[in-house]
């Protein structure tokens, strides 16, 4: 076997340095950039297992000429308090935006209450006759021009539990002699979860007409393989591995969309979960049995439906025993 001397080692290190420096330079090239970004993945949709059911509810409402109440979305905050020193908050701060998107998929009549800063500024300018519209000197403010909401949604992300359960293995295989080959194999599997609590409130009376509490488990895994051996004056130490975890923020979006499916089916008066069951695929609800969702008490015509269906564990699932591994199901 060829032996490496100091000169060859220096040459290899120099060649590697020059190769890396060619990837980025302190002088901008002809197109004005120091380096060309990697990656060329296109923009894609961002669905959850419940997006199809939300769209189905919207189609159901249009097909049956159902005109639902106006809904506003307030603040859905992160109440977990989980953060780290480098990455900041562990859970998304955009729960309200996810809920607005979910209601939009379901065909809900939305009114903006989350960020009204631009509207308030425009109203202030119009009130001072500073804004002009086409065909008139200034924009006129009419009484009752802003429609009110009938219900509004608020709540928060209330749970982020790490390491609900974890398993792992570390295996070392090799001869007792120091110059013989040795190998290491390890693997880990862990489960965490996030929880969400939402409530739907009657805007006029501030009466809580619907409460939902859901959670979703998240799985992660890690595997690694290593090899070590001496060859004459060369030491070979190799290691490969991989780590993957379900996206935490996608889990938050999934839980929010599942809650909106429940609320909008109630508001539209869908006759049981079967109306949009096919939208959830052949295996039914990807999250498995749901169970009782919270302190649901029907107190208005808009939310007086589906109480019994909601309490049924298989309301959105058409198979008694989950067999799929899609997002949170157990084998």
- Tens-digit pLDDT profile for residues 278-288: 776 666 665 54
> Per mean pLDDT, which of 6-20, 75-89, 101-115 is the most reliable?
101-115
Domains of the chain: 45-111+147-311 (3.40.50.10610)
Task: Of 73, 37, 127, give the one whose Cα is nearest residue 264.
Answer: 73
Q: Annotate 273-292 with DSSP letters as a single string.
A: GGGGGGGG-TT--TT-----
SS3 call for 188: strand
Per-residue pLDDT at 236: 77
* pTM listed for this prediction: 0.76
Per-residue pLDDT at 15: 66
Angle at 264 between CA 317 and CA 284, to 5 degrees: 15
Nearest 5°: phi and psi at 274?
Answer: -65, -20
Least confident interval from 6-20, 196-210, 295-309: 295-309
Distance of CA 73 to the CA centre of its chain: 18
Yes or no: say if 319 and 326 are a contact pair by the CB < 8 Å rule. no
Per-residue pLDDT at 196: 94
């Amino acid at each position: 076997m060829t032996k490496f001397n100091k000169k060859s080692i220096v040459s290899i290190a120099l060649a590697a340095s020059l190769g890396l420096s060619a990837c980025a330079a302190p002088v901008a090239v002809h197109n004005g950039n120091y380096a060309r970004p990697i990656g060329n993945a296109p923009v894609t949709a961002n669905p959850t297992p419940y997006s199809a059911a939300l769209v189905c509810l919207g189609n159901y409402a249009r097909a049956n000429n159902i005109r639902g109440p106006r809904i506003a979305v307030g603040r859905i905050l992160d109440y977990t308090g989980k953060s780290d020193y480098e990455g900041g908050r562990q859970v998304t701060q955009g729960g309200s935006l996810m809920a607005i998107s979910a209601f939009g998929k379901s065909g809900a009549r939305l009114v903006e209450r989350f960020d009204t800063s631009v509207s308030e500024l425009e109203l202030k300018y119009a009130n001072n006759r500073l804004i002009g519209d086409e065909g008139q000197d200034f924009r006129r403010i009419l009484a009752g021009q802003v429609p009110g909401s009938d219900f509004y949604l608020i709540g928060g992300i209330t749970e982020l539990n790490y390491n609900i359960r974890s398993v792992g293995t570390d295996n070392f295989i090799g001869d007792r002699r120091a110059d013989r080959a040795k190998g290491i194999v390890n693997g880990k599997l862990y489960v965490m979860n996030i929880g969400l609590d939402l409530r739907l409130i009657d805007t006029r009376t501030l009466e809580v007409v619907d409460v939902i509490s859901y959670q979703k488990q998240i799985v992660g895994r890690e595997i690694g393989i290593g090899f070590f051996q001496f060859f004459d004056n060369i030491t070979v130490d190799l290691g490969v591995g991989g780590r993957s975890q379900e996206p935490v923020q996608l889990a938050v979006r999934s839980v929010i969309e599942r809650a909106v499916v429940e609320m909008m089916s109630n508001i539209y008066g869908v006759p049981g979960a079967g109306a949009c069951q096919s939208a959830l695929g052949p295996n039914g609800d990807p999250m498995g049995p749901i169970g009782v969702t919270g302190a649901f008490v029907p107190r208005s015509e808009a939310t007086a439906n589906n109480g019994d269906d909601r309490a049924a564990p298989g309301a959105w699932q058409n198979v008694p025993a989950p067999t799929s591994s899609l997002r949170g199901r157990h084998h």
